[in-house]
Structure 1
Amino acid sequence: MRIDDVAFKSKELGFYTYFPQVRSACGRDMTLLDGRTMLNFASCDYLGLSNHPRMKESAISAIQKYGSNIGGPMIFSGFTEYHERLQQRYSELYTGRTALMFTTSYQANFGVIPLAAERADLILLDKLSHVSIWDGVKLSGSPFRAYSHANIEMLEQLVLLNLDKKILIVTDGVFSADGDVANLEKITRLKQLHPALEIYIDDAHGVGMLGNSGQGACEAAGVLSDIDYIVGTMSKAFGSSGGFVVFKDEVFAEKVRFRCPTYNASRSVSPGVASASCTALEINATEGSMRRAGLAELTRYTHEQIDALGVDKLYSKTAVIPVVFKDPMEAARVNAGLVGKGIMGSLFVPPFVPKHQSRIRLCLTYNHTQSDVDYCIDALRQII
C-alpha cells in the first residue's frame, strides 16, 4: 500500500490523521481546530525556538520596516540588510566558509546538486537519501549509483571501481525518517583512496541538533574540514524557515550565485523570516550548547524507554525516533490511537519509507519533559 491508499483506507476505518488543522503556535503541545490539545511529537523544533519571544519580536520589527516581501528575485530586486546579515551569520557559524541562503533546503538540493554534478563523472548516493537529493541527482542527468543504506563497504567498492572518474558522494547527515547518522568518519576516509572525491552532506536534521556549536553531524564527527558542501535548514532546530548551503570552494560558490535558478531566480524568504533566522543564530550562540545538552539527555532517556518497550526503532540514536511496523495499516491504527490519547506523531508509509517499514516518527525537542516521554511510551504500550 502507498500513502494515498493508506489515506483512503484510514478514512474508511476512522484512522485518518493527515493534515491536522492546527490553531496554536508550534511548541511542546498544539491545539487543533476542534479544541483538543495534543502533546506534539510531530515537529522538528529540536531546540524549542519556534515560538521564542525574541524571534517573534525581530520578525515583527523587520516586517514593519520592509513589509512581507522583497518584491522579486534577489539577482534583480536585491535583498535587505536582514538577508545580508543572515548570509553572513551562516558563514560565521561555519568559521568563515562562503554560504548562500535558499528559500528552502529542498530548493538548495534541487539547485546545487546539478551544478556540483558538473564537476563529477559519477554520483554515489545513499539509497535512503532524502527525496530532494534524489530529485537533484535525477535533474542533473549525471550517471549515478545508489549504495545500500549506510553500507560503507559497498560505497568503498564503488569508489575503488571508479578511481578513473571524478566522484561526488551525496548523503543525508541525520536521516529524517530513520534517525540514524551517516558514518561520516568512514566516508571522509575514502578521500585517502581518491583525493579528488567531493562530499555533499544534506544535514537539515543535524544542523542545530548536533555538534558543540550546532554545525551538525559533520562537526560532531570531527570531519568538517573534509566536507565540500553542507546543506542546512532554519526550519527545524533553529525554529524559523529557509535553507542554506555552505561551500568549501569559494570560487564555485560565486558561480552558483549566478547559475543556480533556485537561488537567484526565486524570491528569498521574507524580511521577517530573515530577521527571525538571524535572531535564532544569535540565540544558538548563547544558549545553543545548553539546549543541545538538555535535548541529548532527554534523547538518551527516551531511547532507554523505547528499548524497554521492545518495539523496532531501527538504528536511531538521535532525537528522531521511528516506531516501525511491517503493515502500514497497523502503523495507521496505532498512530490514530496515539491521537486519541492526545499525542501527535508523524505517520510515514511507502513510498516515503521502504516496504514493510512503515512507522510513526517521534521527534523530541528541548521543550519536552521526561513526563511527556513517559506518557507517550505508556500510550504506545497500551495501544500496541
Structure 2
Amino acid sequence: MTDMISENQTAEHTDLFSKFDPLIKMRTDLLSTGVTDPFGLVMERVISPTVAMCNGRETILLGTYNYMGMTFDPDVIAAGKQALDDFGSGTTGSRVLNGTYSPHKAVEQALCDFYDMKHAMVFSTGYQANLGIISTIAGKGDYIVLDIDSHASIWDGCKMGDAEVVPFKHNDIEAMEKRLRRIPEGAGKLVVLEGVYSMLGDIAPLKEMIAVAKKYGAMVLVDEAHSMGFIGEHGRGVAEAQGCLEDVDFVIGTFSKSVGTVGGFCVSNHPKFEVMRLVCRPYVFTASLPPSVVATACTSIRKLMDAGEKRAHLWENSKTLHKGLTDAGFQLGTTEPQSAIISVIMPDLERGAAMWEALLHEGLYVNLARPPATPANMTLLRCSLCAEHSAEQVQQIIGMFTRAGEAVNILG
C-alpha cells in the first residue's frame, strides 16, 4: 500500500509540460536577444490582400498564402453577407445531422465542376480533410507510402488510422519504388504525395511517381493545397500541369489559400466515395462550416475557373522575385521558381529572426519557419506571393530584402 501511494505521489508531481522544455528554452533564448516575437505578430487592420497595418505601420504582406488574392473580391464578400442574412451565423451541427444547408451542397458541386470529378466532400479545415480521408481509407493492416517532407496533417492522419507508415526520401522516385516493392502482396497500399511542398516551394515529379504507384497497385492521394487555383491550365494543381490528374484517386485541398476563406475538401472519382460521409470520423463528429463561409468559398472557386490572367500575373511575380533575390545574393530553396512560394535560407535561427525583424521594420511581413517544422533543420524566411501584388510592389520587396540583408550581415 505504501509503495502504491509513493508511486501515485510521483505521478502527481510529473510535469506533463517538461517535454516542451527544449522549445521553451529556444523561444526564451531568442526573445532574450531583444528581437520581436516572430510568432506573435498582430495585424491591426487588413487593407487589401497585399497590405495590412502591423505595429501601427502599413506593411506589405508576403506570408499569407493568399495566392489568388480572393479575400477582398467584392463578389466573394457579397456572397458571404447574403448567406449570413439568409442562413444565420452557423449550423450548430454535423453534416450528417442538421449541418447540411444548400450552400454546403453548392460548394461541393462547385468543386466537382472545378476539378471535373464526380464526388466532393467538404471539411471544416484542410487539416481535417487530410486527417479524415487518410485515417479512414488506410487502417490496420494497410500500408501508407509517403514523402518524408509531408505536411503534419498527413502524418497525423497516418497515425490516427493505424496503418503501417513507410516514408521515403523527398521527391526520390527510386526510393519510393523500393518501399512499394517490399510491401506484402495483396496488402492495401496508399501513396501520399503533395503537389507543392510548402516549406521550400518545390514541386513533386507526380507523373513519374503516380506511374510507379499504379505499377504496384497502390491508390494515390495528392495534396494540392499550395497549387490549387494557380498551377495548371485550369488551376487544378501540379497533377493537371503534369497531365496525370485522371490517375489520382483522391485530391485533397483547402479553402484557406487560393480560395481565400477557411475549410478543406477531398474530390474523387471513386465509385464508392460517398460512403466516406458515414465512416469518416473527423467529418461525422465535427460541426459543419458556417453557411457564410461556404458561400464565399463557392463564389471564389467558380471565379477561379476563369482566372487565367491572374495566374499568368502570379507566375510573373514569382519569376521576378526569384531572380531579384538570387541576383541580390540570397540562397533560395529552389534553383528556379516552381510555385508561388519562394523560401530564403537563413544561416541560423537567431540571424533568421533578426532578418525577419529587419524586414518588418522595412514594412514587409514574411513567415519565419524554423526547425523541427523545416526540412534538414533549416531556418527559412518563406515568401508567399499573391496575384494581387503589383509589379511595383515586387520591386519594393526586392529592395527591402537587400537593405535588410545588408543591415544584419546576411549579404556579404
Compute the TM-score of the two structures, normalised by the length of structure 1.
0.94
- 1:153-184: CA deviations, max 9, x gaps? 11122222336243211122111111011110
Cα 1:192–1:53 change in 2 (3 A) is closer
Cα displacement (A) at 1:18 = 1.8
Gaps of 5+ in 1: none
Q: 1:247: which partner in 2?
A: 268
Paired AA for residue 295 in structure 2: S
Alignment map for 1:327-346 (pairs within 5 Å): 327-346=348-367
Q: 2:206: which partner in 1?
A: 184
- 1:286-308: CA deviations, max 9, x gaps? 3x111111101111111111221
Cα displacement (A) at 1:97 = 2.2
Cα displacement (A) at 1:2 = 6.7
Q: 1:174: which partner in 2?
A: 196
Q: Identify the match of residue 288 of structure 2 among 268, 274, 294.
A: 268
Query: Are the aligned partners of 1:3 and 1:349 in contact in 2 as well (CA < 8 Å)?
Result: no
**For residues 4 and 133 of structure 1, what CA distance do their matches in structure 2 show?**
26
**For residues 252 and 68 of structure 2, what CA distance do their matches in structure 1 show?**
18
Q: 1:306: which partner in 2?
A: 325
Cα displacement (A) at 1:238 = 1.2
State the Cα RMSD in Å: 1.8
Cα displacement (A) at 1:267 = 1.3
The answer to whether residue 240 in structure 2 is matched with residue 219 in structure 1 is yes
Q: In the comparison of the two structures, how many residue pairs are matched? A: 380
- 1:224-274: CA deviations, max 9, x gaps? 0110110011110111211100123131x2221001121122111111011
Q: Percent identity?
A: 27
Cα displacement (A) at 1:357 = 0.9
**For residues 279 and 8 of structure 1, what CA distance do their matches in structure 2 show?**
44
Q: 2:4: which partner in 1?
A: none
**4+ runs deviating over 6 angstroms:** none
Structure 1 or 2, whichever has the larger Rg, is 2
Q: Identify the match of residue 165 of structure 2 among 113, 129, 144.
A: 144
The answer to whether residue 72 in structure 2 is matched with residue 51 in structure 1 is yes
**Worse-superposed segment, 161-170 or 144-153:** 161-170
Query: Are the aligned partners of 1:201 and 1:230 in contact in 2 as well (CA < 8 Å)?
Result: yes
Cα 1:212–1:171 change in 2 (3 A) is same
Q: 1:8: which partner in 2?
A: 28
**For residues 371 and 25 of structure 2, what CA distance do their matches in structure 1 show?**
10
**Worse-superposed segment, 131-140 or 306-315:** 306-315
Paired AA for residue 205 in structure 2: N
Structure with more relative contact order (C-alpha pairs < 8 Å, separation 6 or more): 1
Gaps of 5+ in 2: 1-20, 406-412
**For residues 227 and 120 of structure 1, what CA distance do their matches in structure 2 show?**
22
Cα 1:4–1:216 change in 2 (3 A) is farther
Query: Are the aligned partners of 1:2 and 1:351 in contact in 2 as well (CA < 8 Å)?
Result: no
Q: 2:314: which partner in 1?
A: 295
Q: Identify the match of residue 51 of structure 2 among 29, 50, 55.
A: 29
Cα 1:224–1:143 change in 2 (3 A) is same
